[in-house]
Amino acid sequence: MDWLNYHHLLYFWTVVRRGGLAPAAEELRLSPSTISTQVQQLEEVLGYKLFDRSGRQMTMNDVGQVVYRYAEEIFSLGRELQDALEDRLLERPIRVQIGIADVLSKMVVARLLSPILGSLHTYKLICREGQPDHLVSQLILHDLDIVLTDKPIGPNLRVKGFNHLLGESVVAMYAASSIADRYKSGFPESLDGAPFILPGDRTELRGSLEHWFKSRGIRPKVVAECDDSALVKSLGKAKAGLFVAPRITKTEILKQYNVREVGCLEGIVEKYYAVSMDRRIKHPAVQVIVEYAKNSVFAV
pLDDT at 300: 61
For each of the domains in the chain, give its residue range(s) and CATH number, in order of start. 6-71 (1.10.10.10), 78-167+273-297 (3.40.190.10), 168-270 (3.40.190.290)
Report CA torsion sign: 180, 185, 188, 194: negative
Secondary structure string (H, E, C) spanning 71-138: HHHHHHHHHHHHHHHHHHHHCCCEEEEEEEECCCCHHHHHHHHHHHHCCCCCEEEEEEEECHHHHHHH
CA 149 to chain centroid, in Å, comes to 4
pLDDT at 86: 65
Cα torsion through 119, 247, 293, 257, rounded to 10: -20
Identify the helix (H) or strand (E) that includes residue 29: none
pLDDT at 1: 45
Report CA torsion sign: 16, 17, 20, 24: negative
Q: What is the arithmetic mean of pLDDT over 27-39?
A: 89
Q: What is the arithmetic mean of pLDDT over 31-38?
A: 89
Band of pLDDT at residue 154, cut at 50, 70 and 90: confident
Mean pLDDT score across all residues of the chain: 88
Per-residue pLDDT at 102 exceeds 80: yes
More confident of the two residues 295 and 84: 295
Q: What is the arithmetic mean of pLDDT over 183-210?
A: 92
Q: What tens digit of pLDDT does each residue of 193-204 get?
A: 999 999 988 888
pLDDT at 122: 78
CA-CA distance, 249 to 38, in Å (whole number)?
54
Q: What is the arithmetic mean of pLDDT over 258-274?
A: 93
Q: What tens digit of pLDDT does each residue of 215-258 get?
A: 999 999 999 999 888 899 999 999 999 999 999 999 999 999 99
